[in-house]
Amino acid sequence: MRSSTLLALTAHVLTAAALVAKDGKTGKLPALGFNSWNAFRCDIHEDKFLIAAQEIIDLGLKDAGYEYINIDDCWSLLSRDNATKRIQPDLEKFPDGISGTADKVHALGLKIGIYSDAGDLTCAGYPGSLGYEEIDAETWDEWGVDYLKYDNCNVPTNWTDEYQYWPEYWYGDHEDQVGGTPAPAGYDWSTSKTALRYNRMRDALLAQSRTLLYSLCNWGHSHVEQWGNQTGQSWRMWGDIVPIWEGKDDYSWGFMPIINHGVFFLEWSNFWGHNDLDMLEVGNGNLTAEETRTHFGIWAALKSPLLIGTPLDVIPEEDLAVLKNWEILAFNQDPTWGAPALPYKWGINPAWTWNQTHPAEFYSGGSERGIHVFMMNTLNKTVTKSAVWGEIPGLKAGKKYEVTDMWTHKKLGSFSKKLDVKLAAHDTAALLVTEVGGKHPFPKPAGLPKPKIYETKPKRWLAPELI
Ligand SMILES: *[C@@H]1O[C@H](CO)[C@@H](O)[C@H](O)[C@H]1NC(C)=O
Ligand SMILES: *[C@@H]1O[C@H](CO)[C@@H](O)[C@H](O)[C@H]1NC(C)=O
Ligand SMILES: *[C@@H]1O[C@H](CO)[C@@H](O)[C@H](O)[C@H]1NC(C)=O
Ligand SMILES: *[C@@H]1O[C@H](CO)[C@@H](O)[C@H](O)[C@H]1NC(C)=O
Ligand SMILES: *[C@@H]1O[C@H](CO)[C@@H](O)[C@H](O)[C@H]1NC(C)=O
Ligand SMILES: *[C@@H]1O[C@H](CO)[C@@H](O)[C@H](O)[C@H]1NC(C)=O
């Protein structure tokens, strides 16, 4: 009895340890790279990936840390090989197969990612991997693949969850699961069929010789944040992104709804497992310079993976500068402080209001360099926002601190109470705060006190005033 319990415990610990990374380093920090979907949808060809890879190098993005060149949906033939049951690459799009593209990408010192789906078919109708996990993982391993994005379309009915949690029907204070039954209190989502589908692929990937970063894409369904860290290295929190500030477009969403939702689940993100706010739209649509800064700055501050989704051969200079901003990237990739920046104050609405137009506006977090403050203007007009030392965890009211603007890298000076920043519509201030002379304001990152609002945050992430 006792020894079988011990055995079970040991097995669990071993699985968890293996997940951290086969190679002991992959996935500790949010992934940086390129993905084809936001730039090209299904209109893909090897050339586009090789151009992206070359530009990643030529534009200095590799030096900035970007390393993955990820192929999204539509890379395969419509059916598996009849005899081997393997997914077959579309040789018109990838003349030398995926292994050929992988070799070329590896020769540039970069890594390559592939895409599949935990259902019968991918979202675009190509073969999915449900029921074929081992064959597919083995195939990708043989091709030299380094990363898997695993989508959630076309799930057969016998794999549908008993209870439904789709975050777009969660309003911060109540669930309204259209067409599904909300789970009873205390339900363990790691036992859901969705978790099982994703765990099957985890186990298949872990059995391979290569280390594949495993990126779950089930849109925050089935409370993936609660089991994602035992399953993969990142997990999507919400529906697909489009390059718009607020609102939605068909099934896809603007920045404000995505940030609004993500902020309620930040405690689940840390080293080795990251909430994914979806791939970047920097360079796409009609974003203003301010909106581009906010998109990239908040994605980085909340420790989302940062996957470029625009054609890099025609990227405007100012968008490239945002993607390469070393101070913003350094916060996202900080080796000592894994937690995302957390809201220390809300903004337009009372704390913990779930609102798709006005999410939290004031965030702070630690890095090995100091304390960072991010202030986002969700209004359509210019406002002045104040970073008040007494309100920011780790800073002392009335003490003099030195402030650097992370966007321009300019030292703004020393300030003893607060710093006022004028922010145009939809802009975000990103500030590094240190003691005068540049010393870190706290001795160890672990010393950063948790904001009070988090200490009182209940298990099910409801707004405290609503309990
Ligand atoms: C193999 O699969 C294709 C596509 O599904 C089908 O058209 C073909 O008849 C199959 N070939 C054999 C030998 O079964
Ligand atoms: C669903 O049906 C398939 C095919 O019959 C079977 O292999 C699979 O195990 C079933 N899934 C579940 C969760 O029962
Ligand atoms: C996720 O798992 C890793 C390693 O297993 C652990 O270090 C990390 O703290 C976990 N993240 C959270 C938010 O618990
Ligand atoms: C950008 O603006 C143009 C012209 O107003 C419009 O047609 C297009 O749909 C916009 N693109 C996006 C992604 O909003
Ligand atoms: C979001 O917040 C704004 C500002 O308080 C408010 O006017 C709006 O009604 C809120 N939206 C919803 C859906 O509650
Ligand atoms: C901001 O302006 C846009 C475009 O005019 C409008 O649709 C939106 O409702 C405005 N948002 C706020 C919060 O006022």
Q: Whose CA is nearest to atom 11 of ligand 5?
A: 355
The ligand that comes nearest to the alpha carbon of residue 247 is 6
237 phi/psi in degrees, rounded to 5 = -105, -10
Query: Can you tell me the distance from the alpha carbon of 162 to that of 222, in angstroms, rounded to the nearest whole number?
Result: 10
Determine whether the shortest distance from the Cβ of 83 to ligand 1 is under 6 A. Answer: no
Q: Whose CA is nearest to atom 1 of ligand 4?
A: 286
H or E element that contains 329: helix 326-332
Q: What is the pLDDT of residue 185?
A: 82
pLDDT at 452: 53
Rounded to the nearest angstrom, the distance between the alpha carbon of 200 and the centre of ligand 2 is 13
Is residue 357 in contact with ligand 5, taking CB distance under 6 Å? yes
Burial (CB count <10 Å: 0-12, 13-18, 19+), residue 82: exposed
Ligand 5 centre distance from Cα of residue 257 (Å): 12
CB 32 within 8 A of CB 68: yes
**pTM attached to this predicted model:** 0.92
Q: Is 82 in the pocket of ligand 1 (CB under 6 A)?
A: yes
Fill in the DSSP letter of residue 221.
Answer: G
Buried b (16+ CB within 10 A) or exposed e, 183-199: beeeeebbebebbebbb
At 277, the amino acid letter reads L
Q: For a ligand 3 pocket test, name from 22, 26, 270, 275 the mutation site with the most ligand atoms within 8 angstroms of its C-beta.
A: 270
Please, are residues 358 and 378 in contact by the beta-carbon 8 Å criterion? yes
Q: Kindly report the CA angle at 206 between 200 and 209, in degrees rounded to 5?
A: 140
Ligand 3: distance of its center to the CA of 255 in Å?
Answer: 27
Q: Which ligand is nearest to the CA of 78?
A: 1
The alpha carbon torsion through 231, 200, 46, 84 (nearest 10 deg) reads 160
Does the Cβ of 416 fall within 6 Å of ligand 1?
Answer: no
DSSP 214: E
Report DSSP letters for 6-50, one per residue: HHHHHHHHHHHHHHH-TTSSTTSS--EEEESHHHHTT---HHHHH
Residues annotated as catalytic are 151, 240
Partners of 76 in the beta sheet?
89
Q: What are phi and psi of 363, to 5 degrees?
A: -130, 150
Nearest ligand to the CA of 274 is 3
Q: Ligand 5, residues 171, 357, 383: which to mutate, most atoms within 8 A of Cβ?
A: 357
Backbone phi, then psi, for 147, in 5-degree steps? -160, 140
Ligand 1: which residue has its CA nearest to atom 6? 82
Q: 371 and 394 in contact (C-beta within 8 Å)?
A: yes
CATH topology of domain 343-466: Immunoglobulin-like (2.60.40)
Under CATH, which number does the domain 2-340 receive? 3.20.20.70
- pLDDT value at position 104? 98
**Which of the listed residues 244, 380, 381 should we mutate to test ligand 6's pocket, taking the one with most ligand atoms within 8 A of CB?**
380
- Both tokens assigned to 261: 């939702």
Q: Which residues line ligand 6 (CB under 6 A)?
A: 357, 380
For residue 159, the ligand 2 atom closest to its alpha carbon is: 13
Alpha-carbon distances of 92 from 44, 95, 125, 235, rounded to whole Å: 10, 6, 18, 31
Check residue 23 and give its pLDDT: 84
* Protein residue whose Cα sits closest to atom 7 of ligand 3: 271
Two tokens at 280?
A: 């970047």
Contacts of 69 (CB under 8 A, 6+ apart): 33, 34, 49, 52, 53, 56, 105, 110, 111, 112, 113
Handedness of CA 97, 214, 309, 65 (dihedral sign): negative
- Pick the closest to residue 88 from 97, 452, 96 (CA basis): 97
CA–CA dist 334, 389 (Å, integer) = 22
Domain with CATH 2.60.40.1180 in the chain: 343-466
DSSP state letters, 400-463: -EEEEETTT--EEEEESSEEEEEE-TT-EEEEEEEETTS--SSSSGGGSPPPHHHHT--TT---
Task: Give the separation between CA 185 and CA 458, rounded to whole angstroms.
Answer: 13
H or E element in which residue 307 lies: strand 306-308
- Identify the pLDDT of residue 252: 95
pLDDT at 9: 36
Closest to 50 (Cα-Cα) out of 11, 4, 102, 2: 102
> What's the CA-to-centroid distance between 203 and ligand 6, angstroms?
46
Give the residue, out of 130, 158, 222, with the most ligand 2 atoms within 8 A of its beta carbon, to mutate for a pocket test.
Answer: 158
Residue 159 in contact with ligand 2 by CB distance below 6 A: yes
Ligand nearest to the CA of 242: 4
**Does the beta carbon of 113 lie inside 6 Å of ligand 3?**
no
- Give strand pairing partners of 170: 175
Q: Where in the chain is the domain with CATH 3.20.20.70?
A: 2-340
**Ligand 5 and 349: CB distance under 6 A:** yes
What pLDDT score does 446 carry?
Answer: 43
CA distance 45 to 117: 20
380 CA → ligand 6 middle, Å: 6
Q: By CB neighbour count within 10 A (0-12 exposed, 13-18 middle, 19+ buried), where does 277 fall?
A: buried
pLDDT along the chain (467 residues), means of 10: 36 44 89 98 98 98 98 98 98 98 98 99 98 98 98 98 91 77 90 98 96 98 95 97 96 96 92 97 98 99 98 98 98 95 92 91 94 97 97 92 98 98 98 94 54 42 34
